[in-house]
Chain A
Amino acid sequence: MALTNEYIKEKLVEKFGDQVTDFEEPYGLLTFRSDKDLNLKVLNFLVEEDTLQFRFLTDICGVHYPDHKGQEIAVVYHLHNLKENVRVRYKVFASVAQPDVYTATGLFAGANWMERETYDFYGVNFVGHPNLKRILNVEEMDYFPMRKEYPLEDQSRIDKDDEMFGRAGF
Chain B
Amino acid sequence: MSDNVLLPSGSIEKQTTTLNLGPTHPATHGVFQNIIELDGEKIVAADSTVGYIHRAFEKIAERRPLYQITPLTDRLNYCSAPINNMGWHLTCEKLLNVQVPRRVDYLRVIIMELARITDHLICNSIMGVDSGAYTGFLYVMQYRELVYEIYEEICGSRLTTNIGRIGGFERDFTNTAFEKIERFLKEYPAVLKEFENLFTRNRIFMERAIGAGPISAERALNYGFTGPNLRAAGVDYDVRVVAPYSRYEEFDFEVPVGSTGDSYDRFLVRNGEMWQSLSIIEQAMQKLNDLKGEEATVYHADVPEYYLPPKKDVYTKMEALIWHFKIIMGEINMPAGEVYHSVEGANGELGFYFISDGGRTPYRVHFRRPCFIYYQAYAEMVKGAMLSDAIVVMSSMNLIAGEMDA
A152 touches B59 (CB 8 A): yes
**Interface code A71-114, partner B: CB below 8 Å = 1, 0 otherwise?**
00000101000100101010000000000000000001110111
A78–B243 Cα distance when bound, in Å, is 15
- Is A57 an interface position by the 8 A CB rule? yes
A145–B235 Cα distance when bound, in Å, is 37
Chain B residues in 8 Å Cβ range of A108: 222-224
A89–B235 Cα distance when bound, in Å, is 23
- Is A26 an interface position by the 8 A CB rule? yes
Interface 9-mer from A2-10, A32-40, A58-66: A58-66
A87 touches B340 (CB 8 A): yes
Identity of the chain A residue whose Cβ is nearest the Cβ of B64 in the assembled complex? A152
- Is B283 an interface position by the 8 A CB rule? no
- Is A170 an interface position by the 8 A CB rule? no
- Is B242 an interface position by the 8 A CB rule? yes
B364 touches A63 (CB 8 A): yes
Chain B residues in 8 Å Cβ range of A29: 339-340
Chain B residues in 8 Å Cβ range of A117: 372
B353 touches A110 (CB 8 A): no
**Interface code B50-83, partner A: CB below 8 Å = 1, 0 otherwise?**
1100101011101100000000000000000000
User: A38: shortest Cβ distance to chain B, in Å?
Assistant: 22
User: A3: shortest Cβ distance to chain B, in Å?
Assistant: 13
**Interface code A110-141, partner B: CB below 8 Å = 1, 0 otherwise?**
10111001000100000000000011111000
A-B contacts counted at CB < 8 A amount to 90
B222 touches A27 (CB 8 A): no
A63 touches B223 (CB 8 A): no
User: A58-B349, A59-B353 given as contacts; is B337 within 8 A of A27 (CB)?
Assistant: yes
- Is A11 an interface position by the 8 A CB rule? no
Chain B residues in 8 Å Cβ range of A58: 224, 342, 349, 351, 368
A82 touches B222 (CB 8 A): no
Contact of B221 among A55, A76, A145, A151 (CB under 8 A): A55
Chain B residues in 8 Å Cβ range of A16: none
Nearest 5 pairs between A and B by C-beta?
Answer: A110-B224, A136-B51, A61-B366, A136-B54, A59-B368
